[in-house]
Structure 1
Amino acid sequence: MPYRSGFVAVVGRPNVGKSTLINALIGTQIAISSSRPETTRKAIRGILTLDHAQLVLVDTPGIHRPRTLLGQRLNDMVDESLSEVDAIAFLLPADQEVGPGDTRILTRLRSQYGKGAEGKDGWKVPVIAVVTKIDTLDREALISKLIEIEQFGAFSEIIPVSAVQHDNLDEVQSLLVQAMPEGPKMYPDEQISEEKPEDTIAELIRGAFLEELDDELPHSLAVVVDSVIYPDEDNSGDDSVNPSDKVRVLVSIYVERDSQKPIIIGKGAQHLVQVKKKLRTPVNRIIGQKSKLELHVKVSKGWQSDPKKLARLGF
């Protein structure tokens, strides 16, 4: 059996389960998932290595009408991650109507990947409709949803899945593998992401605040890992150095207004404490030894619409 490898762009409007599907396929948390739209802000690459194939899954920020410069940058990022892929997984949630947002994405895909021909063969690369959240529908409702999606897009394939229930995940995986060209392995077996450890930690922290604060969370939250400071191993002969010293992970959390700082910090710093507690094990795993998160909340006024500030925050 020839080895297959390639890139799959995972697209869909905000909050359709892109990150949840990628995490389920990879088997660990690569991308943060949340019920809030626009959770993903980077085109995160998750790498799934199998005996006979390697899939690089690009989790794109949800395509939407931009309201800020940040929103425009996110849309540009989608264009970039769509530019050279071998297949597209277009996620459509079973529990929602096909709407204008989906039509906008389909139009974009047609202009970039359509051959001009009608039907399933009208694509330059396979465009697979992945119908998510099927656990929310009974059999009859699911059948009508699949018919509706078939009529909506003339996709190369349509596959229903529930990432949460792990229902049909193997079929999604095998369909994506079949869509890949023959080619060599691009990443080592053990690598599961293209993200730098600092970026992964920053995303985990942002995800933890999304869960901790839910509706209270200011949309304008950005997280940057400023530095990772290891205990100085060169001083091993110095009695004052404690061998159990932890790695210090210095983190800046940016909001846009002074009034948002106390929301992030919480009464008696409870939110900061909860986030540190929740992420202790994942961060230790990423760093490879015991570490300590040091979180500092800062105000960067209007950063979502300021080109210089956006660049400094990595957008």
Structure 2
Amino acid sequence: MSEQTPHHCGSVAVIGRPNVGKSTLTNALVGAKVSIVSNRPQTTRHRLLGIATYPEGQLVLVDTPGLHKVQKRAMNRVMNRAARGSLEGVDAGLLVIEAGRWDEEDSLAFNVLRDAGIPVVLVVNKIDRMKDKGALLPFLQEVTAGRDFSSVHPISAQKRNGLEALVRDVLALLPEAPPMFGEDEITDRSQRFLAGELVREQLMRQLGEELPYATTVEIERFTEDGNLLRIGAVIWVEREGQKAIVIGKGGTRLKEIGAKSRLQMERLFGAKVFLETWVRVREGWSDDEAALKAFGYE
């Protein structure tokens, strides 16, 4: 690296209401799947770091659960605490919104970032889905009026459009510093944690309509046997009837969840995976703070 191009590094919170594409953006910037994605709100339940390394600098992205206005259940309260807690010590914030839409929860997310006293970049995601492209400019004028953003970036995280300019502007907000993580590191989470998340992603994708929030995953066993990972995953539900839904007729649904999860794990871990799955019932776990703590929700 030449003397003229200083290296910038810092942490950046990725904040927004549920389902605006925060995890898709984090994965696109990291260049690997560190955060699970489905089209259901509440897919991201934990705070995790995605590490995006470029020649000019390193972004340590704090992917957060979506901020909810109504906090009916213990799960929602825990997720809101995780999202707000992720702002401690960060250098900048990305407010992710959906092109053409701004509502009360977007205002809530903006206020949380503004109150943190950090520079805020507005990321307007899903521009590829706007039917009337002429509506984008008036929308941007409307949402930026009276709100202070250091820059505004219309992007499509899914199609990876507009990311280069976003990275350049965000790096400029960060302190001059050496990288915090090695070039090949993509997250601060363990393979064990990621394995549980990949199973939960399949549950959200396949059962989101029927059981959106009643399931969680606990990895009971994670051992390395040469180039083979042996993983045992327990899917927890809240009622017996839900157990039957997850297993499916003749066990077909559970088999499919297991097969797709295993493929994703092999892709992410670069190893062969032997995965076993079980379904168990713990009544009311998602509204029980002690159960949430036991399942790793901080």
Q: TM-score under structure 1 normalisation?
A: 0.88
What SS does structure 2 have at the residue aligned with 1:82? coil
**Following the alignment from structure 2 to structure 1, what is the Cα–Cα distance between the partners of residues 280 and 274?**
19
Q: Does 1:135 align with 2:131?
A: no
Structure 1 residue ranges (4+ consecutive) displaced by more than 6 angstroms after TM superposition = none
Q: How many residues align?
A: 291
Q: Is the 8 A contact 1:91 1:130 kept in 2?
A: yes
Match of 1:112 in 2: 116
Does 2:274 correspond to 1:274? Answer: no
Structure 1 residue aligned with 2:30: 26
State the alpha-carbon separation in 2 of the partners of residues 111 and 261 from structure 1. 43
Separation in structure 1 between the aligned mates of residue 236 and residue 47 of structure 2, nearest angstrom: 21
CA-CA distance at 1:287 after TM superposition: 4.8
Which string of whole-angstrom CA distances, capped at 9 and with x for unpartnered residues, describes residues 128-172 of structure 1?
Answer: 110011112233111111111211522121110011222111111
Describe the superposition over 1:39-96 as per-residue Cα deviations: whole angstroms up to 9, x where unpaired. 1001111001111201011111001121111211111111211111111000110142
Unpaired runs of at least 5, structure 1: 114-124, 234-243
Q: Tell me which residue corresponds to 1:55.
A: 59
Q: Retained in 2: the 8 A contact 1:5–1:183?
A: yes
RMSD value over aligned CA atoms?
1.6
Do the aligned partners of residues 216 and 229 (structure 1) sit closer, same or farther apart at CA in structure 2, a change above 3 Å counting?
same
* Mapped pair 1:66 → 2:48: no
Give the secondary structure class of the aligned counterpart of 1:216: coil
Q: Percent identity?
A: 37
Report if aligned partners of 2:100, 2:135 keep a CA contact under 8 Å in 1.
Answer: no
Q: TM-score, normalised by structure 2?
A: 0.93
Distance, in Å, in 2 between the alignment partners of 1:247 and 1:84 is 36
1:271 deviates by 1.6
2:16 is matched with 12
What amino acid sits opposite 1:307 in the alignment? Answer: E
Which residue in the other structure is 1:99 paired with? 103
State how far apart, in whole Å, the 2-side matches of 1:108 and 1:278 are. Answer: 37
| SS across alignment from 2:71 | coil
CA distance in 1, matches of 2:266, 2:124: 36
The answer for the alignment partner of 1:252 in structure 2 is 234
SS of residue in 1 equivalent to 2:175: coil
Which of 119, 143, 155 is the matching residue for 1:126? Answer: 119
Q: Which residue of 1 aligns with 2:39?
A: 35
